[in-house]
Amino acid sequence: MRAMTFEAPGQPLRLVRRPVPECGPGEILVRISTCGVCRTDLHLVDGELPDPRPHVVPGHEIVGRVAAVGDAVTDFRIGDRVGVPWLGWTCGTCAFCRRGEENLCPEARFTGYTRDGGYADYICADARYAFPLPDAYDDLHAAPLLCAGLIGFRAYRMAGDAPRIGLYGFGAAAHILCQLAVAEGREVFAFTKPGDRTAQRFARARGAVWAGGSNESPPHPLDAALLFAPVGALVPRALAAVRPGGRVIAAGIHMSDIPSFPYHLLWQERVLRSVANLTRADGRDFLARAAAAPIATTVHPYPLEEANRALDDLRAGRFEGAAVLVVDRGD
């Protein structure tokens, strides 16, 4: 099979040939149709994530069909369509897992980082961590739901019932969450790179009531702000934009250093917190809401062999929405 592998920070992914993996007990072999290109993949390639698995295959927004099942698999059959997300395995026995916080399991394994991911023709996945996908989405448009949607949704849930939500960085995650928030009766304020009128028009087209640069103040104080751009300097700006008692949630796995800021930005019971990974409960809840909304994902397809170009385009901000690798060409 084909696979794009990570070799070293700063180097392009390498196209290699590997044997099709064999399922172990509890695993499913998935023939991959599409795989979204996430900013986390970019952090991996750029050396911003520590200790990746050597020669790992990136990608954790995976859509495909079950090609084989291992022993003890009961939830999926050959031919079923499945999604494989970032969270690939947890121990199930630590204090975090027992509390329903499996996203914080210290032994957790992650698809496309510590276990092979979806920039390939096939993947073996733990069946317990795969999801059936809503029929409302074809393979191309379902892929971004599996991280931009899922982990974005975890950040969205942390905003509570906030009527006014700010989204800093209007990319793959924000364009999904904006639609969900609007469908649930909330007002969305979108913050983009200063002067990026194209992204601001895109945000308004997805339902934002206001869109401006990240250096601007919203016309009303926000109840919550979600940070999808990995820019630490946005933290004090977001704190300044939320009302007393408001929340700022950093939704990425990596962020540049947060500059010092005066205490008065945090005072009056404002809350600053981060999001780490996702739980399977997050996945089930979000995919049900996505099916009911429904949410339109804006995608830009690339062939598997052009994964490096997709990553470069993501880094440079050359598209709105999400990049998706088309793996199974049907030949």
Segments making up each domain of the chain, as ranges: 2-147+277-326, 150-274
Task: Render pLDDT for 14-70 as a digit per residue (tens, 0 to 9).
Answer: 999 999 999 999 999 999 999 999 999 999 999 999 999 999 999 999 999 999 999
The whole-model pTM stands at: 0.95
Residue 66: closest CA among 92, 97, 114, 28 = 28
Other beta carbons within 10 Å of 271: 15
Directed axis angle between helix 280-292 and helix 172-183, to 10°?
A: 60
CB burial readout 213-225, b (16+ within 10 A) else e: ebeeebeeebbbb
- pLDDT in the model for residue 109: 98
Homologous superfamily in CATH for domain 150-274: NAD(P)-binding Rossmann-like Domain (3.40.50.720)
Q: Looking at the domain that runs over 2-147+277-326, which CATH code has it been given?
A: 3.90.180.10
The pLDDT, as a whole number, for residue 173 is 96
Residues 6+ positions from 247 with CB-CB distance below 8 Å: 158, 159, 160, 162, 223, 224, 225, 270, 271, 272, 273
DSSP assignment of 232-249, as one string?
A: TTHHHHHHHHEEEEEEEE
pLDDT at 294: 78
> Which residues of the chain have a pLDDT value below 50?
331
pLDDT recorded at residue 293: 84
